[in-house]
Each structure stands twice: as structure tokens, then as C-alpha cells.
A and B are shown apart, each in its own frame.
Chain A
Amino acid sequence: MAKLKDLAKMEDRLVAGHGMCLGCGIPLIFKVVLRATEDPLIIANATGCLEVCTTIFPRTAWNVTWIHSAFENAASTIAGVEAMYKALKRKGKIPKDKTIKFLGTAGDGGTYDIGLQALSGTMERGHDIVYLCYDNNAYANTGGQRSSATPLGASASTSPAGTQSPGKLQWRKDLTKILAAHNVPYVAQACPSRWQDLYNKAKKAFEIEGPAFLNVLCLCPTEWKYEESKGIELAKIAVDSCVWPLYEVENGKYKVNYKPKEKKPILEWIKPQGRFRHLFKEENAWVLEEFQKKVDEEWEELNRLASL
């Protein structure tokens, strides 16, 4: 089992001086994930918070080879790099015993929406890469537009709550399951509040041959509108309320990695966040009911899949 003290000894592959917000969850994810392999690493990063904040001209916060790609094609970019690596190895230009790992990454906008086609193709072709989506539930880099990962009832700049609307009207897309349906060797959902689980999943993803996908819940005080110091507390509630269940699908087999002793009501998740504030108006009570119902259904279905 990894110890934090040992992880802290490793070199930072993402360093200080990046411009991410106070209390941002992205560095918390990458601090752990980038330590889950000791091999050299090449990263393709789509447009998004992480890309913008780590490479503010003329500086970079990356200590590894890092390529910026457009919003839609981080997966294709990293697939191309991996294909080249294989070709160079075949030609003997890269020594046979040298291993390089490949990571494609984007936020939920660049993964759930804009990058889904490229990601689907990369997964289907079976490239030996890891793709990580840091899901902060919105286009947080451009002012908080709703994405297909934005939860039901959340007020976003393109699904604002008001007299005519209770915020976003649609239930979020279940991307992890979409990726599992690609029948790739490894798909997992993780959360930074359970770092050991996140670390194990990242390690497995890097070690497994073939494509692996990680969907990681990412705290966003800016768009979720909560007090930034309370972020980890909130992430814990996301897991304990089963809003963000921790599970993995290895070679088609579902496994729930964490079952809360006592399932918390979704209200504990909703209450601290300003983006859900309007849901406590009388006329929006149905949204809260629907939210709880959906979470319960999905949790039940997940456990059913895991029992197969």
C-alpha cells in the first residue's frame, strides 16, 4: 500500500506556479495520478482549466512532455503518440526494454461532450493509453456553461435558474458506463477524497495493456459555489451519498470499490453548493425528489451489475 510520505518523496511532474483557482481540485487529482507510474510519461491535454492554467505564456507547470491539443482531440493526439512509439520501437529506434506511458486528459467539457468522438475511436482501436477525465461538472474555464456532466438542477450560465427554470433540466450523462460499453480492459470512477483508491486505480490503468479510462470527480469551488476550504468534505459526501460512486470495470466485470456504511441523503451534497441554492424554493421541490430517486436507481443498478 502506498504511503503519502513516500509519494511526497517523488518528483512533482506538475509543479507550483500554475494558475488554478483557490481550492481547485485538479492539482489534487494529478498529484496522485502522476505518481502512479515511475515510467517516463507523455501527456496530451485538451483545452480546459488544466491546460489553460498550467501553460500561461511563456511558462509551463509541466515537468514531463506535454502536448496541448484542441478541445476535441486529446485522445487522438495521445493515440498518435502511442502509435509512433510502437513504430519506433519496431524499427529499433527506441530500445526494446524502454517503457513510456501515455496519458490523455481533459475536463468534462472536453470529454463528455466535445472530445467524445475522438475518445471513443481511441478506445475502440485499442491504443495502450490512459485517459483521465477530471469531471468538475461544467465548462469551468469559460465561465461555467452547462456540460452533459452538469447535474440536474444545477444553475449554470447556459442553464440559469430563474422564474422559468430550476436550472439544468436533464440528468447527467453516464460517461463511465459509456466507456465501459467499449469493452476496454479497464474503466474506473474515482474521487480525490479517497486518494488511496484513486492511486490504485491510476496504477492499474497505467499497468494494464490497452486502453484504460478514469473518470475522476473534480472539486470546483468557482462553479459549484461553496466555501473552498470545505472541498474535501464535500467530495466525501459525494461518495457517501452515492452521487459519485467509486467503482471499476475490469475486463467487463463491475466491482463497487466502496459502499458507504450509511448512505447519506443527497441533500447533504446539495446544501453547501450555491449552484443548487434555488432548489429549496417550494416550486423546485420536485427536482430534489427526482435527484434522490435517480441516484438511488443508479446505485441499485450499479450493485446489480457488480453482483453479476
Chain B
Amino acid sequence: MKKETWKELTIGTINLDAGNSVKNLTGTWRSGHKPEFIADNCIQCFFCWLYCPHFAILVEDEEVIGINYDYCTGCGMCAEECPSKEKSIVMVKEEIKLAEGGTT
């Protein structure tokens, strides 16, 4: 992909491409731990959704269905705040490898 430079900026530095930060895959700088979702334990309280700073909780048809690893930075707040009897999100160690893609 061609690298964007200041020349492509709209005069007045207006960015009309609202929400284009979704192209920044913050999951590429994850901490070395990642959350794992255990659907059977989930009570659908949405606390993980509420307390995820990187908008990485996947919700479909009004249900939490998993983690979006493209954005998850591995802070662990979702697992920490998960109130279900048996945790429905647990943190696991992850091998750190160079990410493919990421920001352009």
C-alpha cells in the first residue's frame, strides 16, 4: 500500500474518513498475554465489553461471542472483571512474534 504523506492531507487538516483508525491493528503490540473466551461459562453481563479499552470484545446478536485479537492489547481487565462463577475469560501466555500487516 502507498504510504500516505502530508501531501494527501485536506487543506485545514480535515479528515473526512471518520473512524479510519480501525486500520491500526493495536493487537500487534499485545502484552504477551491474551484473553481466551470460554463461551460455556459466560453469563452475558457485558462487563468485558464495558471495561475493554481497545474495543476488542466481539458482540453479535446481542451476545458476547469472543475476542477480536486484531485490537486486543492484552491488558487483562476483561478477565479480571469477569464475574461469572467459573471465569469466562482467562489470560494465557502468548508467544510474541512479528505481526503481519499492522499499520501502513
Spell out A's residues near B (CB within 8 Å). Answer: 4-5, 7-9, 12, 15-28, 31-32, 54-64, 195, 221, 228-233
Contacts and interface: CB of A to CB of B under 8 A. Distances in A.
Contacts of B59: 8
Given A16-B54, A60-B17, A62-B19, A228 B71 contact: no
B50 A15 contact: no
Contact of B53 (A17, A27, A57): A27
Contacts of A22: 31, 53, 73-75
Nearest to A227: B76
A16 B22 contact: yes
Interface in B1-38: 4, 6, 8-9, 15, 17-26, 31
B18 A63 contact: yes
Given A25-B53, A27-B53, A4 B21 contact: no
Interface residues of B, number: 42
Contacts of A20: 53-54
B40 interface: no
B24 A19 contact: yes
Contacts of B79: 229
Given A24-B53, A60-B21, A5 B15 contact: no
Given A23-B77, A28-B53, A231-B51, 5 more contacts: A4-B46, A21-B53, A22-B73, A26-B53, A232-B81
Contact of A12 (B6, B23, B55): B55
A195 B48 CA distance: 13
6 contacts: A8-B62, A16-B56, A17-B23, A17-B25, A18-B21, A59-B20
A8 B49 contact: yes
Contacts of A233: 80
Given A22-B74, A60-B18, A63-B18, A8 B24 contact: no
Contact of A58 (B9, B22, B25): B9
Contact of B26 (A8, A19, A28, A55): A19
A24 B73 CA distance: 11
A15 B55 contact: yes
A131 to B, nearest CB: 22
A54 B21 contact: yes
B21 A16 contact: yes
B23 to A, nearest CB: 6
Contacts of B96: none
A23 B71 CA distance: 13
Contacts of A55: 15
Greatest chain A CB density within 10 A among B9, B73, B79 is at B73
Contacts of B80: 229-230, 232-233
Question: What 9 A-B pairs have minimum CB-CB distances, sorted nearest first?
Answer: A229-B76, A17-B21, A4-B46, A17-B24, A61-B21, A23-B75, A16-B55, A22-B75, A27-B53
Contacts of A229: 75-77, 79-80, 91
A5 B62 contact: yes
Contacts of B6: 57
B22 A17 contact: yes
A58 to B, nearest CB: 5
Nearest to B91: A229
Contacts of B19: 12, 15, 60-63
